[in-house]
Amino acid sequence: MNRRDFLKTASTAAVVAGTGVAAPAILSPARADARKETLLVVSESGPNNLDIQGVGTNVPGYEVSWNCYDRLIGHEMKEGPGVVPYYDRDKFKPELAEDMTVGDMSATFKLRKDAVFQDGTPVTAADVKWSLDRAVSVGGFPTFQMKAGSLEKPEQFVAVDDHTFRVDFLRKDRLTVPDLAVIVPGILNSQLVKKNATEADPWGLEYTKQNTAGSGAFKVIKWTAGTEVVLERNENWKGGPLPALRRVIWRMVPSAGNRRALLERGDADLSYDLPSKDFAEMKSAGKLKLVSTPYSNGIQYIGMNVNKPPFDNPKVRQAIAYAIPYQKIIDAVMFGLAKPMFGAPADAATEVAWPQPHKFNTDMAKAKALLAEAGYENGFETTISFDLGFAGVNEPLCILLQESLAQLGIKATINKIPGANWRTELNKKEMPLYTNVFSGWLDYPEYFFFWCYHGQNSVFNTMGYKSAAMDALIDGARNAAATGDAATYETDVKGFVDLAFTDVPRIPLYQPYVNVAMQPNIGGYQYWFHRRLDYRALTKA
């Protein structure tokens, strides 16, 4: 049976019906060239906002912003640790800027004179300034992301003329230029967004939540929250070679079984975030192209709220670290498709690297002893929260943790939070116990720790952890990296890793892999720091 006729078969129709989503017209019998230029992606969850600078935008929302908005610069690609191209952390290429000159305390960008927004409006330095002013002013994750690269004040951004833009540095920081290549500082059509702004919403966040307003390679032409996103190529894109794909249809199919069936029947082109069991079985079958790449600078972890009993007690946190069934999680949840971040030898030296394994392992006797020392010999009641948008991994992981904690007398109720609400709930910093993934976009240890352990109200320091010693070590490492003081950098990085493993406000479990399954005729997949798809490079034979 060829793909053109799949909707005519009752068996496949049943699978499509099982997704709860009607089949798109593009998959009806149509010209071969149109199908060659259309990609059908299926995933567990989708965006809750089309603008990464919006309030509580979830990880799937990053994918839309990446493909619909240009940045001043992007990354070159290099040979990856697996079989796919991998972004080069240290090499940059032009995107909206055709030239970049980095001086001692500023960087100057010459903009492409032919760049236009999706409505045909020319891109100017005034749009770039307004967009970066917006990023450092809206608050929350976007503003903290900019701050991570010492991009903090609108006064740093200067529109020299229509096609010349300058960034003035507040301080020497090796993260400043790389931070201009992440998703947050995308360039918006300032005039269009301002027309749709209000006094209560001066940055037009409500408008960009529902509409794309960029100069990027794609634009959203339809979005049904929780069901489907349809993107079309921007024929006037100037930031690189015109993509081979004209259209991307991205469907939300919560059932992993249905996503797998759609792939195996050839009815979908690509999927990711499939359960490791399905991925391992499909790999053995050998019918699809499958790629696994370790998350750069990323871990799945157990987080604890250190400001509320019982997790304000370090001995309780250490007890949890000894109670986690690490190997069961690797075997039964991940099916070996993850790198363990636990059980380092007792005499292992701390490395100047992240992630690296801690020395905890499953030891229920030690866990019980520590709980007793903390005054919780009979256990306590709590909740374990997780993002339902990634339930395929999170739910079985939490069930295994719940069973293990029960052996200590800890009664843990599992709290399933809808994916659209997860980021908002996480940032309230009220959940006592939870699991999550964090992957630092800039692949440096001090960047990860700045986000996750620094006491300056970091968005992803969701444990509420504050330590003057930790802050000093993180700040010291950042300064040493900027000034080239290798000895101090090594001391400070080892210091903050050791302190994190002593205080254990969060417990690393493993370094996940990005598992992508696609039809054999799909090419051009690249691994990016944000772990989402880059439609610009994808091809379909």
User: What CATH number is associated with residue 328?
Assistant: 3.10.105.10
Helix/strand/coil percentages in the chain, nearest 5: 35, 25, 40
**Number of independent structural domains in the chain:** 3
Claim to verify: residue 273 and residue 302 sit in the same structural domain: no
Query: In what helix (H) or strand (E) does residue 396 lie, and over which residues does it extend?
Result: helix 391-406
Claim to verify: residue 144 and residue 218 sit in the same structural domain: no
Query: In what helix (H) or strand (E) does residue 230 lie, and over which residues does it extend?
Result: strand 228-233
Last-in-domain residue among 135, 159, 193: 193
Q: What's the pLDDT score for residue 273?
A: 81
Amino acid at the residue 111 = L
User: What CATH number is associated with residue 148?
Assistant: 3.90.76.10
DSSP one-letter string for 458-520: -TT-TT----HHHHHHHHHHHHHHHHT-HHHHHHHHHHHHHHHHHH-SEEEEEEEEEEEEE-T
Sign of the torsion angle spanned by Cα atoms 6, 7, 12, 17: positive
The CB-side HSE value for 195 (13 A sphere, CA atoms) comes to: 5
Asked whether the beta carbons of 295 and 513 are under 8 A apart, the reply is yes
Residue 199 lies in a domain: no
188: DSSP letter:
B
Claim to verify: residue 348 and residue 440 sit in the same structural domain: yes
In the block, residue with structure tokens 């620094």: 454
Claim to verify: residue 39 and residue 134 sit in the same structural domain: no
Residue 16, classed as helix, strand or coil, is helix
Residue 18, classed as helix, strand or coil, is helix
Residue 202 lies in a domain: no
Claim to verify: residue 339 and residue 270 sit in the same structural domain: no
User: What CATH number is associated with residue 42?
Assistant: 3.40.190.10
Claim to verify: residue 494 and residue 449 sit in the same structural domain: yes
- What's the CA gap between 447 and 139, in Å, rounded? 19
Alpha-carbon separation of residue 460 from 144, 157, 506 (angstroms): 10, 26, 11
DSSP one-letter string for 316-338: HHHHHHHH--HHHIIIIISTT-E
- Helix axes 276-285 and 256-264, enclosed angle (nearest 10): 20
Listed residue (60, 61, 132) closest to 96, CA to CA: 132
Claim to verify: residue 495 and residue 352 sit in the same structural domain: yes
Claim to verify: residue 320 and residue 457 sit in the same structural domain: yes
Tokens of 504: 């254990």
Claim to verify: residue 375 and residue 498 sit in the same structural domain: yes
Residue span of the structural domain in which 443 resides? 298-512
Alpha carbon 133 to chain centroid distance?
A: 23
In the block, residue with structure tokens 């069991």: 277
Last-in-domain residue among 193, 225, 241: 193
Last-in-domain residue among 159, 193, 227: 193
- What's the CA gap between 540 and 534, in Å, rounded? 14
The CB-side HSE value for 55 (13 A sphere, CA atoms) comes to: 9
Claim to verify: residue 479 and residue 423 sit in the same structural domain: yes
Total residues belonging to the chain: 541
Claim to verify: residue 51 and residue 115 sit in the same structural domain: no
Residue-wise pLDDT tens digits, 457-507: 678 999 999 999 999 999 999 999 999 999 999 999 999 999 999 999 999
Residue 27, classed as helix, strand or coil, is helix
Residue 51 lies in a domain: yes
Instruction: Report if pTM > 0.75.
Output: yes
Tokens of 440: 């630092």
Which residues of the chain are under the pLDDT cut of 70?
1-33, 457
The CB-side HSE value for 1 (13 A sphere, CA atoms) comes to: 13
Neighbours of 348 (CB within 10 A): 12
CA angle at 164 for the pair 157 and 236, rounded to the nearest 5°: 110
Listed residue (305, 343, 348, 350) closest to 322, CA to CA: 343
7: DSSP letter:
G
Q: What's the pLDDT score for residue 457?
A: 66
Residue 201 lies in a domain: no
- What's the CA gap between 541 and 538, in Å, rounded? 10
Residue 203 lies in a domain: no
Claim to verify: residue 242 and residue 174 sit in the same structural domain: no
In b/e form, how buried is each residue of 420-440, taking b as 16+ CB within 10 angstroms? Answer: bebbebbeebebbbbbbbbbb
Residue 352 lies in a domain: yes
